[in-house]
Each structure stands twice: as C-alpha cells, then as structure tokens.
Structure 1
Amino acid sequence: MTTSDNAQEARKILASPAVRQLAKEKGVNLNEITGTGISGHILKDDIISYVERQTDSSTATVADVTFHAMSPLSHSLPLEEFEMLKKDKMIPIRGYTRAMVKSMTESLKIPHLGFCDEVNFDRLITMRKELRNFEIAYNARMSFMPIIIKAVSLALKKFPRLNAIVDENMENVICKASHNISIAMDTPEGLVVPNIKHCEQRTLWEVAAELNRLQEASGKMKIDPDDLKDGTFTLSNIGVLGGTYLMPVIMAPQLAIGAIGQISKLPRFNKEGNICEANVVKFSWAADHRVIDGATVARFSSQVKRYLENPSNMVADLR
C-alpha cells in the first residue's frame, strides 16, 4: 500500500476527539481498531478492549510466583504534546463546563464521608471473556462497567438509603425506587454525567447497550437533556485514564458516588496461604455524612465486593 493509500485510509477513521486522545495516551493505532459504534465509529470501549487483548496475549508466568518489579514510569501515560502559551488566554465557561461549575459548587457544600476498598477481579475477568462471545447476538459491547453497574444496582436494593436524594430544605431523604445510575464521562468540552435509567429492571445486556449509546452520544457531544436528568447514584471510571484512586465528589442532590480504578496485577495470599498474582481494582466511595453513616457505606461496599468477586452471587439475587 502506498503512502497516499495509507493517508486515504486514515481519513476514513470515525472517532471523536476524546477517543482519539485516549488512543494516543494508550499508544494505540486507530487503523488497527474496528469500531463498534454506528457507521463504524470507534468508541472508548473499543480502545480499552484492544489494550486488554494485547495484555492478555502476553501471558504472565505464575508457576513460580514470580512478580516482576515495575519502574515508577511503567504505567505512566505518554506525555501529551502541548504548545506553550505566549500570552494570557481567556477561555469562556460554557456548555458542559458551565453545568459542572454549578453542580460542583453545590456539591462542595456537602460533608463527604470517604471509604476505600479493593476488589479481586479474577473471576470477573473470566466471566467477561465468556460474555464477549455473545456481543454480536446482543448487539452490545460488554466492558466491565455494565457488570459493575448491575452489581451496584443489586446492592442498592439492600441499601436503598444510598439510592436517594434530599429535598432543598434538608428535611427529608427520598429513597428512589428507580436506580438511575449516572456515569461520569470525559468529553472534549468537559465532564458530562448522563444516567442509565431503571437499572434495577434492565438485564446486563440492556445496561451494556444503554451505556454504549451514552458513550457514543457523549463522544459526539449529542447527549439528550433527558439523559442528564433524575440521576440517583453516580459511578466514575478513572481506570480508563490510568488512575487508581480518586476522591469522588457527590453530585447533589444525590447522596453517594463511587469511583473505579484501573486493574493492577498485585501479589495476594490465596485461601491456601500461598502468594499468587491477583487482578486488583481499587474502589473509592463517598457519601453525604449528614444523612449516611460510615457503617452503611462499609456494608454496601462489602456487598458490591461480594457480587464482583463471586459473580454467581449476582445471579442468585437476580429477580
């Protein structure tokens, strides 16, 4: 193929600026990605899945329980290209950024209770690989997020106080019957937090399809206003950006939020007391301490952990 042919092929790549930036950070050539969005658009999940497949192809030896030390920069994101400012630049606050300013100003009035825990993703990784065999049949991309969303929704059934909002006068906590789980998404114009409505009624594949739709819409900056309304609980996945921990900020008038870090291979003890390699993810939770206590958050976190570490428990609690 000639250079002109390559250039022509590159121009056919359909991807939003946010997706192109993620591909750049992960060192991925978009020419090697098959887009699963409408008209072949490349989604963030396509990039993440590609990176995971590349990781899976390089098998790690665990027979001798040998762990390779990583240099401090081994997981660092590539340095972004930038042009140094030669004079002051004024950036108008509008669009999603304006909405974020208003929302965060209200949210920072809330006394936040923080709680962190780690979850072993070994069984979840196996489950997800099996589910991906059915992606074509269900016309949806199965990342870890739909599974996490469904696990959180199941846990919220046991802890309805976390799936709630407060009224303007702080006189009542309103526990919501619908689990409208908001998902923080990065866009070229800033943070946007649409929600998947009625997660408690949706199947895992329905959650995945709805998440795919919102991700594609956010990449095109075409989020429907209705998708931004009536959220009851928020999740933020910083793992796709290489993050491990986050101090999440509650989206008022909601009462709780969770942040999910990247998958890290770490040494852990198994049931036999032997050291083994484990796929560990750090979860960070925050709740409104005016109306939610630490014990409730800890129990909720433990329930989510039980679902994700033993997916069969999720199946047992489905109705």
Structure 2
Amino acid sequence: MVEVKLHDIGEGMTEGEIIHYFVKVGDTVKADEPLVEVQTDKMVAELPAPASGKVKDIIIDRGTTVSVGTTLLVLEAEGGGAAEPAIEKKREEAAPKQAEVQALQPQQTASAVQKGEKKFIIAAPSTRRIAREFRVDINEITGTGKIGRITVEDVYNFVKKRDGLQSSKEENAVSVEVPEQKAEMKQDVQKQEVREGTKPQADEEFIPFRGRRKQIAKKMTQSLFTIPHVTHFEEIDLTELLVYRKDLKEMDINVSAVAFFIKAITVALKQFPVFNAKLDEENEVIRLEKEYNIGIATDTEDGLIVPVIHHADQLSVRQIHDKLKELTKKAQEGKLAPADMKGGTFTISNVGPLGSIGATPIINHPETGLIAFHKTKKMAVVMENDEIAVRSIMNLSMAFDHRVADGATAVAFTNRFKQLIENPKLWPIELA
C-alpha cells in the first residue's frame, strides 16, 4: 500500500484545503497522474500519484483543511500486498477532524452536507477560512466575483442575511465579528478609544488579517527590517521603442514593452552582476547568481504574487512576451505551480498601467534589487540640438540593497538599461 500524503509544495506552507479529487475509490491510476487538487494560501496545486495502482481508500473528505503530513488517500500499488492495519487507524484519526468541520456548518445545511451535494466552487483559502469561522457552508454562497468566484464580501453578506442583520441606511457596511474574536476585538476597540479619544461607528467593518495578506505583510516587514533600502529614480525615453513596436505590429508581431524591459534588464545584469546577487551574511559572502530569473510582481484578486520567468537571458523578446502572458494569466486564475514562483534573482513591477508616477518599492528579499516601471506620458523635451520635441517619457524607480551595492553602481546599471531601451537599433549588436 502507498499512502499519499499532503507534502510541502513550496513557500513554507503548513496546511492545505482539499478542493477536488480527480479519482474515486476503485479507479486505476498511473504514476504522476493527478490525484487531488489542494489549495494553499498562495496557490492551487495538484498532487500526482507516486506510483501506478488502484485507489484503495480516500481518507480525507473534500472541503477539509489538513496539515502537511496528513494521509489523504491510499493506493494499492501494482504488485502490492494486503491492506495495512495502519490505514484504518489513520481513517479513525481523520474522522474527528472531519466531524469537527461538519459541526461548524449551520443547522439548515446539515442535510445537504450529509447528501454530499457540494458543488465545485472557486474561492481563496482566506475566504474559505472566514466562511468556516462564521460557521457557513461555503457551498451555499453564490459568488459575485469573476467566473463565479466567492469573495469575502459574499461571505459577509451571507452572514448578515442568515443572522438577520440590517445594513445602515447611510452605508452598506456592517460590523461582522467572528464569535471567538468578539471579546478580543472589543478590548482592542476600548484601547483605541483610550488612545484616540474616539468611539468606533456602529457599522464599522473588520477585515481579517490572515492568509496571503498576512504572508505579504510578513515578507515586506522582513525585507524592510533586514535591507537598508535606497531608491534611485530615472526617466526613460520610450519614443523610439514605441515606434519600433508599431513597426512590428504592422508585421503582425505583437510584443509588449515589458518584454523588452525584461530582456534589457538581463543584459544590464550581466554587466552589473552585483544586482543579480544575494547576500549571505552568515558566511560573509555576496553570492552572484548564475541564472537570470526575473520575478514579475503581479496584482491579483487575492493580493500580490511574484511568478518568475526562468532563464530570461536565454529567451528571445517574443518568448519572454509569451511567458509573461502565460504566467500573468495563471496568477489571475490561481493556477500557478510552486515551480512558477521559485528561484527569482531580480524582480520588476510594472505599475504604469495603474497610473503611478513614482514609488519607493520594497525589495523582494533576499534579492538585491527591484525596478518599478511607472506610467508613460508625452512631454515637451529639450533635445541635444536645443530644439523642443514631444517625447514619450516613462519614470523608473530602482530600489537596491545598500549593503551590497552603492549608488554610483545603481546609476550605472540604470544608465545601461536606459541606453538599450532608448536605442532599439543597438539590439542586433548587443544581443548577437
């Protein structure tokens, strides 16, 4: 017998929710065939079969959250022997946990749970946890997000309707508290009144601080407290690059400007490898990375996530464009695999489409640098011949670790990037 357990699929996960089984008891599977779909705080991942055989038993029910190391199902491997007595023991151990989860469901949904009438739903792990804390069967909620995704607001609205709470006439918000947290929140409010001399409104709303939001906070805090950040600003003239892209479009070649940015960054990183490095304080060395893996800070419905384009230096601009498009789509749909987010050596953030003109970005620890691209706008520029021309100018913010590099090196690095972007005619020579 082969026990299929929930293992750490990356990013330091400690638990996961079983959202879908691809098999049922009695099915025959092949090695590496997907068995179960698990949702963590950061991703949805499939666990493959470790060996070929037949599904002997499914121990954990769908919708249950379990810790790493828990046995989910059992395979009778090809050529395997009799069933192991330990399997029944594991099922008995898992039963109380599943009973506890079912006990959290509202009374009116008990019959549906018993009948197993659960639909396949789309919701973030944080949203699912909030639903459990409010003792809500998430299968009964109608999602209002993209493709029917259930949002935190959907859970709150369901709870208000279930408990007969009325929204304020002035605002639609209402204070919804987890039963176990009421006392703690009340104490916090009282402390706030003492500190600020103000009283919270009756319709004050609380947003749970957990899941991906909490992970982002921990990572940002670690970075700011560990790395002495310095931010360098620059203006990049995109006029010639935009003309070049227009010419490519007329040839039915559509490549994003960001793909050019990423390629130019890899060229600059090879000339200034200190920015493609990680500081190892314990061994007192700065490790220069041999791979050029560019992280793409991506805004999703559930928060910031950083998929990685691996070996970007070995890809053409068109290949980078295709990979960027693929990773962004997977991130938005919550389908990134652990491998898609590992191994980054330098990160970029393209916030220009959102309207940003500048920022002081936080480095993706333990990397050394991060570049943010801001919006491009047409400006009157005095050219070298003292003539005034309308040019397309983009602001750039580069944050770097001052323990590893100095300001002059950062300026030289961005100057190299600037040279490549402002002069597309150099590319055939520089990339040959």
* 1:237-280, Cα deviation, whole Å (9 max, x unpaired): 11010111011111111000001011111110123211111100
Indicate if the aligned counterparts of 2:279 and 2:404 stay in contact, CA closer than 8 A: no
What does 1:84-95 correspond to in 2, within 5 Å?
84-85=173-174, 86-94=203-211
Q: Give the letter aligned to residue 229 of structure 1.
A: K
- 2:337 is aligned, of 224, 231, 241, to 224
* RMSD after superposition: 2.1
* 1:205-229, Cα deviation, whole Å (9 max, x unpaired): 1101100001110111111111111
Q: Which has the larger radius of gyration?
A: 2
SS of alignment partner, residue 123 of structure 1: helix
SS of alignment partner, residue 200 of structure 1: helix
Query: Matches of 1:170 and 1:287 in 2, distance apart?
Result: 21
Deviation at 1:307, TM superposition (A): 0.4
What does 1:1-319 correspond to in 2, within 5 Å?
83-85=172-174, 86-94=203-211, 96-109=212-225, 110-133=227-250, 142-167=255-280, 169=282, 171-319=284-432
Deviation at 1:167, TM superposition (A): 2.3
Q: Give the letter aligned to residue 426 of structure 2.
A: N
Indicate if the aligned counterparts of 1:154 and 1:314 stay in contact, CA closer than 8 A: no
* 1:277-313, Cα deviation, whole Å (9 max, x unpaired): 1100001101100111011100001000000000122
SS of alignment partner, residue 209 of structure 1: helix
What are structure 2's unaligned runs of at least 5 residues? 1-121, 123-146, 148-170, 175-202
Indicate if the aligned counterparts of 1:238 and 1:246 stay in contact, CA closer than 8 A: no
Query: Matches of 1:122 and 1:226 in 2, distance apart?
Result: 36
Aligned pair in 2 of structure 1 residues 135, 146: CA closer, same or farther (>3 Å)?
Answer: farther
Deviation at 1:166, TM superposition (A): 1.7
Indicate if the aligned counterparts of 2:173 and 2:204 stay in contact, CA closer than 8 A: no
Q: Give the letter aligned to residue 118 of structure 1.
A: E
Higher relative CO (CA 8 A, sep ≥ 6), structure 1 or 2? Answer: 1
What are structure 1's unaligned runs of at least 5 residues? 1-15, 17-40, 42-81
Q: Which consecutive aligned stretches of 4+ in structure 1 deviate over 6 angstroms post-superposition? A: none
Q: Give the letter aligned to residue 266 of structure 1.
A: M
Query: Matches of 1:293 and 1:183 in 2, distance apart?
Result: 24
Query: Matches of 1:305 and 1:178 in 2, distance apart?
Result: 22
Q: Give the letter aligned to residue 332 of structure 2.
A: G
Query: Matches of 1:167 and 1:225 in 2, distance apart?
Result: 24
SS of alignment partner, residue 108 of structure 1: helix
Indicate if the aligned counterparts of 1:166 and 1:172 stay in contact, CA closer than 8 A: yes
SS of alignment partner, residue 373 of structure 2: strand
Deviation at 1:99, TM superposition (A): 2.8
Indicate if the aligned counterparts of 1:185 and 1:193 stay in contact, CA closer than 8 A: yes
Identity of aligned residues (%): 33
Query: Matches of 1:225 and 1:132 in 2, distance apart?
Result: 34
* 1:97-153, Cα deviation, whole Å (9 max, x unpaired): 2331222121102101211010111001011122334556xxxx5211100000111
Hey, what does 2:8 align to over in structure 1? none
Indicate if the aligned counterparts of 1:135 and 1:142 stay in contact, CA closer than 8 A: no
* 1:29-66, Cα deviation, whole Å (9 max, x unpaired): xxxxxxxxxxxx9xxxxxxxxxxxxxxxxxxxxxxxxx
Deviation at 1:84, TM superposition (A): 4.5
Query: Matches of 2:275 and 2:343 in 1, distance apart?
Result: 15
SS of alignment partner, residue 271 of structure 1: coil
Q: Which segment is superposed worse, 285-294 or 308-317?
A: 308-317
SS of alignment partner, residue 295 of structure 1: helix
- TM-score in terms of structure 2 length: 0.52
Q: Give the letter aligned to residue 108 of structure 1.
A: L
Aligned pair in 2 of structure 1 residues 240, 170: CA closer, same or farther (>3 Å)?
Answer: farther
